[in-house]
Amino acid sequence: MCICCTKADSLPCSALLTLDNALPHLNHFCSILSSSLYVDSRPQYVFSTSETPGDRLIHAEVILPISVDPALRRASSDRGWITERMAKKDAAFQAYKVLHVAGLVNDNLLPARHDEEDMMQEFQIPDHTPSLVKVSAPFDPWLFVATCQQQNSQAYQRVLLKVQGTGEDPFYMVLLTPCSVDGLAPFILYWNRKIQYSVEISGLPGAVYNEEQLHTLRSITRKILHSIHYGRMQEERSDFVWLLAPSDSQDPIWDYTKLHDFDSRTTGFRSASDLIQQLNYPLSAWGLISVQGDQRKYIPKGIISEPVPSTGEPEYRLRAVRVPKRRDFLHRITELSQESNAYTRIELLSPSDCSVEVLPGSFSIFALLFPSILWKCEVSMLINTLRTSLLSPVSFQVTELPLLTQALTSSAASAENNYQRLEFLGDCILKFIASVHLMAANLTWPESYLTGKKGKIVSNGFLARATMKAGLDKFIMTKLFTGAKWKLRYAGDILSPQAPDKDIFRSSKLLADVIESLIGASYVKGGFPDAFLCVQTLLPMEAWTPIPEANTVLFNAAPTDISPKNLSTLEKLIGYTFSKKMLLLEALTHASYTGPNAHCSYERLEFLGDAVLDYIVSIRLFEHKPKLPHPTST
């Protein structure tokens, strides 16, 4: 008989269940249910006889291990037989048919394993073995910015940047972009071990400019950047995808007249000696200092004078420090890193050898910091794109972009603010949701089936395949900002066809970790409801059961036909009174038990309890004050 044909609307196949092979099939099925010591997982047979005139027939009943659901645990032979051997085969045949109908045996007569073969074949990522996977090129938010500019070259969004150094007055600059830069939280830039710059961003109304105004803004932008980054810019090019406009606390948005005047009067150099003679020319208005025969530039710090012994006339000296070669101000200078004393030491310069840029030095210092600020803008646009597209069902707010940024930052990109803590949290949340879902969706599955299925849907391979399928791989940040490699990108270059990059490979564990870290971030944002939405969004291959619904299903499935009376002492010990006593009895029943009231062994509840305990401990460690570093938590 073909076992597949016992299902409605099924087509014939070559897998046949017969009286001869039913017994070994059933023995194999039972053998994989439990690996516990002292548990006999073999099916047990009970025989009975019926006698009619001239005939003595034997009937058999098979009893499967206690880990099998009670509704499937017993089966009887379909008819009477002359020998126990044939009755036993018939009972095994009937039992295996029941298991097949319940979905515990597949159409090939083997225990169902529920592999995700289609996705595995698509991406070739093993479930448990770390591997390198070819991924998409990183998402480039500037391509979208350049496209917006191409479509409407005169409309710009504006934000006000307030940059303030330690012990200094704040400096203001307006950043103009063709599309909005949302959710950029305040951050710190590290000039050296002692001096820090805080950067705060506030919104300004958008504006539409005519070509003459844009020409002036491009000229100002080029002038500011060229004061520092002249070696990284192309002469005569000004097709920037963003623009800079000077500002101040009294007048955040300068009109065209003021901008044009600034552009006109900040070009070229002046003699340091001439500036010293102008007593009303403040040092704060000086630009960077160039020394004749020296390619290095200096930041003015003061002017000193001493009388010449022979004449008594004052001799002036400029106090200055070198402009640092450092271009990455996002990361602290640690004790182990090298910081040249030349960039903090005051040097004395002769004014007669010095020329001073007319552009005030505060603008050059801003230009020095600007690549780090621009990187922050790029990350914000990258994360906001993910927030409003793939993660839109989870409803992350703009104010929660820092949390999403952490969830997508690998330890290679940041040693301090990376996804590892969120991944630790998301791992236990995913296992809890998976355990509750599988328990409720498969009420007849034994613990070994639940464990096998759970192992697959929380495995690195499964999660990495989900990352690839969702296109999440192009949003993962794996590289540090390196100011030394920063290069100005022009709109024409961004929009022009790019030569294909070499293949990019990432660890499958990294791809899996990001799924878990986003689940962890969703839990931090809104608890289990948002974490469940994130699981549904990123892992749509599974028809997830909502936790409240799963709890109801599991509670209603607990038997009420028997109510043990001798469990009150235990209930007092654990501090909880069960409304369904059989749940407590099931939790105490070992798989080797075969006595009365043997409903189910504790293995299914242990499967669920393992996830619950993992969740409780993980949450406690995650919320520990002070925060525990990731290696300590694990």
Which tokens go with 595? 């006595």
Burial of 451 (0-12, 13-18, 19+ CB in 10 A): middle
Strands of 74-76's sheet in order across: 44-52, 55-63, 74-76
3-state secondary structure 276-336: HHCCCCCHHHCCCEEECCCCCEEEEEEEEEEECCCCCCEEEEEEEEECCCCCCCCCCCCCC
Summary count for the chain: helices (H), strands (E) = 20, 16
Average pLDDT over residues 233-242: 91
Indicate the residue type of 240.
F
Residue 14 has pLDDT above 80, yes or no: no
Q: Chain centroid to CA 460: how far?
A: 14
Select from 535, 504, 506 the least CA-distant residue to 521.
535
How confident is the model at residue 631, as a pLDDT?
Answer: 67
Q: What structural domains does the chain harbor?
A: 3-112 (3.30.160.20), 141-267+362-379 (no CATH), 269-358 (no CATH), 559-634 (1.10.1520.10)
What 3-state DSSP class applies to 6? helix
How confident is the model at residue 115, as a pLDDT?
Answer: 45
CA distance between the termini of the chain: 53
Residue 117 has pLDDT above 70, yes or no: no
Cα distance between residue 333 and residue 346, in whole Å: 20
How confident is the model at residue 176, as a pLDDT?
Answer: 96
Residue 11 has pLDDT above 60, yes or no: no
User: Which residue in this structure is represented by tokens 């630790």?
Assistant: 424
Residue 433 has pLDDT above 90, yes or no: yes
pLDDT band at 124 (very low <50, low <70, confident <90, very high): very low
Question: Do 361 and 288 touch, CB atoms closer than 8 A?
Answer: yes
pLDDT by residue (tens digit) across 396-432?
Answer: 999 999 999 999 999 988 888 899 999 999 999 999 9
How confident is the model at residue 564, as a pLDDT?
Answer: 81
* The Cα angle at residue 402 between residues 401 and 404, in degrees rounded to 5: 65
